[in-house]
Copies of this chain bind each other. A is one copy, B any other.
Amino acid sequence: MPYQQIINDTYHQIKSGKDEGEAASYIPELAKVDPENFGIHLITIDQQEFGIGDRYTQFSIQSIAKVLSLSLAFKLWGSKIWERVGVEPSGTAFNSLVQLELNKGIPRNPFNNGGALVIADMLVGEFKNPEAEFLRFIREINNDNKIDYNLSIAKSEKSVGYRNIAICNFIKSFGNVLNEPERVLDFYFTMCSLEMTCQELAQTFLFLADDHFRNTKGERILNMSKAKRVNALLQTCGFYDESGEFSFTVGLPGKSGVGGGIIAVFPDKYSIAVWSPKLNAKGNSYRGMKFLEAYTTKTESSIF
């Protein structure tokens, strides 16, 4: 089986090398996770599964959840959402606040924290219980009722989330957060506390690779045009200040989270989830990046 063989080889190659990353430790809950975890899971659009390592252990997907909240909002309101958030890469983290100022509270894209907070605000405004609705949306994608929030992580994040509180209130001062910042932040931190295994993550994101994907109720998540646009956004904005680098070395749309997870999508082929908690200087999983670079090179997987 070529896929499985290459995954195995690459896994062992990366695992035997030095892990130069540093696990996130700004909250105790994340610091508690064993930094040696390393798992990979790949699912093809015809439902074949491959993988190795700690791929059945749940971890905090963090910012990867932003792709799911965007997808829900895009499904609900279509291109109307682009009135309140842009589709352009934001350059450095440094610039995000300057650009919020220049753009009068319109975040550059839905994957930086400002943009994800505006999307969260939309969902908070729509649903009585956005936490429950968001969870239902995800569980319906892959019929998996074990997927859930980790509320102690959410609480921990909130207790030190001053930067996010700042960003949310800053956007509110421009009128682009409609609900109370406290409520929006609560949903945001909860949403980012979602826990999944590599397998669950790969399954959940298959709808971005497979044009014919249907959820458990037989519905499409996004039509083809919308799914392509989410992939385009992932390509240009999915890795903060390392988006160009990821696009350059891996060549697939993808998204990383501070918990050490990365999801990547090869349209019409497969979705792949990698998890290794230690992060590089830009905040993306060190081994995850290394694995995907080597794996996509060996398999000549690239959209380019």
Give the B-binding residues of A (Cβ under 8 A): 86-92, 94-95, 97-99, 101-102, 108-109, 162-163, 165-170, 172-173, 181, 224-225, 227-229, 231-233, 235-237, 241-245, 247-249, 251, 253, 267, 297, 300, 302-304
Contact = CB atoms under 8 A, between A and B. Distances in A.
A304 B228 CA distance: 5
A258 to B, nearest CB: 15
B243 A88 contact: yes
A239 B166 CA distance: 25
Nearest to A234: B304
B248 A87 contact: yes
Given A94-B101, A304-B231, A244 B162 contact: no
Given A169-B163, A181-B162, A232 B304 contact: yes
Contact of A101 (B97, B231, B242): B97
A173 B162 contact: yes
B162 A172 contact: yes
Given A97-B170, A169-B169, 14 more contacts: A88-B244, A89-B91, A91-B95, A92-B99, A92-B102, A95-B95, A95-B98, A163-B169, A229-B249, A235-B236, A236-B236, A236-B243, A236-B248, A267-B303
Contacts of A227: 304
A244 B89 contact: yes
A150 to B, nearest CB: 23
Contacts of A109: 244
A92 B224 CA distance: 29
Contacts of A108: 91
B95 A97 contact: no
Contacts of A169: 162-163, 165-166, 169
B95 A253 contact: no
Contacts of A163: 169-170, 173
Contacts of A101: 94, 97
A266 B225 CA distance: 17
Contacts of A228: 251, 302, 304
Given A91-B89, A91-B108, A251 B236 contact: no
Contacts of A235: 235-236, 247, 304
A90 B90 CA distance: 7
